[in-house]
Structures are given as C-alpha cells and as structure tokens.
Structure 1
C-alpha cells in the first residue's frame, strides 16, 4: 500500500505492522499517529505496534500524520459526536467511535449493508442476491411455497430483481453462507434480532428503521466483531442500542405497522412494509417518509 506520511509518500507491504511503518519512515520518537476523518489518534504502544496496518483501518492512499515525542502528546478531545455515533474503548487501538455507516437507499440496502459489513464493498450486493436465489432453488423442501409466500421458482427469480426488497429469509441464508451471525437492530423497538447467533463467533450489526437498512462500524474500519471479545462486544451492543434510541427520537425510524408512509416522489400513502415494498418494486421509487396524517 502507498501512504502519505506527513510530507512524503511511503510504499509498504499490505501485511506490514504499525511498527514496520514507524521503522520505514525513521521516526523512533513517534508517540502516536493520526489518520481518517474525523481524525483518529492511535497511540504507539506495545499492543498497537504489532497490529497490522489494515487491521487498524489504514488503506492505500490514506494520509497519516506522525505525532512525535515532545509535540502533541496530550490526547485531544473527541470531535463532537453525531446522534449516529458513540465513543467506545478498544483494547487494541484505545478510544474510538462506533457509528452508523449509511448505504444507498435504492431497494438493495439490505444487501449493501451486509456486503459492506463483510467485504467493505457494496458492489457485491448482486452476488449476494445470487447466493440467496441459488440456495432457495437448491432447497425446495426448506424454502417451500408456503414459507416464501409464492412459488419457489418465482421467488428465486424475484429476489434477483434489483427492485426487490430482502428480509428475514435473505438474512438467514446469507448468515449461514458467510459464516457470520447477523444482528438486526430494529430501531423502532430498540431490540436486536440475532440470526445464527449460536453458530458463529463473528457477528455484524445492521440497523432497520422500518423501510431501510444501514450498518454499524467502528471509525477505523472494523465492521465484523467477535463475541469472545466480551468487553468490546458489550460496548458495541449497548452503544448501538443507545444510538438507535437517539436516531428514533430524531425521526430516523418508521413504524410501518401503525404509521402511514408517504412516497415523496408520487405522494401516495401506505400502511405496512409489504405495501411500501410493492410500490418501490413496481415504480422504482425509493424516497419515503412518514406521513403527517
């Protein structure tokens, strides 16, 4: 990877550690680095020295500033947090920010959220649809017409349509295929629904506001969490719930079972996620809000 460190460009192996970077730039007096936006300060300590650059969130093209001994050695205050952010303490990097990562609102938001969480790339969303379609076709007994609400073959073709919304069936299938538990945080009721939590140590978190999915990440790029890191997991879960509560208070969620949802494109109104989804699929409209009456 290529990094811009202060005023020079450094090329370093993708598997390099933080200590390798410090040695490469010849900065034995370095006490911390800063990178990302908002700027994250990572102190150079025994545990962080051995961390790989990719694991602390550095990628090619990143700008890095070196904090040297005798310089900016006092930890700055954290930037003002948004409703979609919370402070956590990670034993590997110190203080960090847990935040909502928003994905495009284009009828594929569920697949985008899972794709970003697992691959850091939403371009694999179509591939995830194909995985679901194949699994449904190959397991007709498990995914029968009654479960799917339509003929197996029809459903398998329907989910490949980019205008089709995914839900619990798709989440369960992708969780198994990707070997990761998926925690769905329902913003309206402030509660997790955990898919395959008993099968995997790794988990990701996606938020559902009634009509849209987003995902959770730590600001240095961490999106897959491990249950056996109990201290960090506890912080991630409790702070995710706090974030969801703040988002709901500021109108981020829609109760599609009770409240009317309005299409901001054509002004039609609906009650129920199913009707909203059908409208989105038939028209391509993706801009919805909560109707005042």
Structure 2
C-alpha cells in the first residue's frame, strides 16, 4: 500500500481519534484531500507512518535545524530520517563510501538503548546546519509569490491561500 493510502485508511478507521478538531477538516474530507496527488502532509502523516511501519521517523527542518521525532515513546528499534526544506520531505541515506552504488546506502538505523542512533545524528544535524547557512529552504510564511493569472503579489502561504479562495486562482510562482 502506498503512503497516502495507509494514511487515508488509518484516518478513516478511527474518526474519533482523527476528528475534525484534530485534522482541521472533517474526517471524510481529509481522506479525500490526502489522496489528491497535489497535496502532501506533515506531522499527522509522519506520526501515522511511524506507527504503521513500526519505526521512528526523525524529520530535520533546514530552516530551524530542529528535529521532530515521530514514534518516540513506542520503543521502536529502528529509525529513518528525513530532511524538510519548507516544502518537501526527502529521505536521507548514508553511503558507506563515496561513489558506492545506491543499493549500498543505509536508510534504516538501529536505535540504541540511550534512544539515539549514534554519530549519524550529529552528521545529519551538521547537514541541516550547512543547508540552513546556504539558505536551501523555503520560508512559506514570508516568501513572495505572484499570481500567474492576475499578477498580484502576495506574501506567504496564508495570503496565497486567501487570494486563491477569493478568486479561484491557484497558479502562483515564487519571485524575489
């Protein structure tokens, strides 16, 4: 089952836990929304996937260098890692040596008794800090967008959503 199907089935199966108050929209509407290939999720979805796969998911945010850990407290013995650039989550992999074939990459790491995965965590945090210094993230609260239909400029995701709701325009491009 693909990720979004796992999420939709999980949410639909427990409308009490996944209520409108929790999801920000009615359960049935959320399930249709998450199945739309143009949509993507965040914390709710990562939490569901951590439980489904029985692994912790560590998501490193480039903009803040914060690590959000999903599935913690469940004593899962493995962890996978993602990096978030403000728009997308990408899986992180550790190569055993430079130039190694992709099939040698490690994407699942053993969780130790101290609930860490050892030196790999420091490497990933350093990667996030390096990406932050290089501004390799999108600040969705403050980025500037231009409507591709009427050419009006908006600041941040909130204004873009308000403009889209008011006009029906959904074609935006980032500009500086």
Work out whether the TM-score is over 0.5: yes
Question: TM tier, shorter chain?
Answer: 0.7 to 0.9
**Distance in 2 (alpha carbons) for counterparts of 1:202 and 1:236:** 13
Name the residue aligned to 1:235: 119
Structure 2 length as normaliser, TM-score?
A: 0.77
Q: Deviations over 1:180-218 (max 9, x none)?
A: 110010111111000012211201111111112112101
| Structure 1 unaligned regions, length at least 5 | 1-123
2:72 aligned to which of 197, 201, 221: 197
Give 1 or 2: higher strand fraction: 1
**Residue 265 and residue 181 in structure 1: after superposition, are their counterparts in 2 closer, same or farther (change >3 A)?**
farther
| Counterparts of residues 1-293 of structure 1 (less than 5 Å) | 127-199=2-74, 200-219=76-95, 220-228=104-112, 233-257=117-141, 259-262=142-145, 269-272=154-157, 275=160, 283=170, 289=174, 291-292=175-176
Number of matched pairs: 159
Q: Is the CA contact (8 Å cut-off) linking 2:145 and 2:160 kept in structure 1? A: no
Q: CA RMSD in A?
A: 2.9
Unaligned runs of 5+ in 2: 96-103
Work out which structure has the larger RCO, using CA pairs closer than 8 Å and 6 or more positions apart in sequence.
1
Identify if the C-alpha distance between structure 1 residues 179 and 161 changes in structure 2 by more than 3 Å, giving closer, same or farther: same
SS of 2:86's equivalent in the other structure is: coil
TM-score, normalization by structure 1: 0.48
Alpha-carbon separation, structure 1, partners of 2:128 and 2:146: 23
Q: Which has the higher helix share?
A: 2
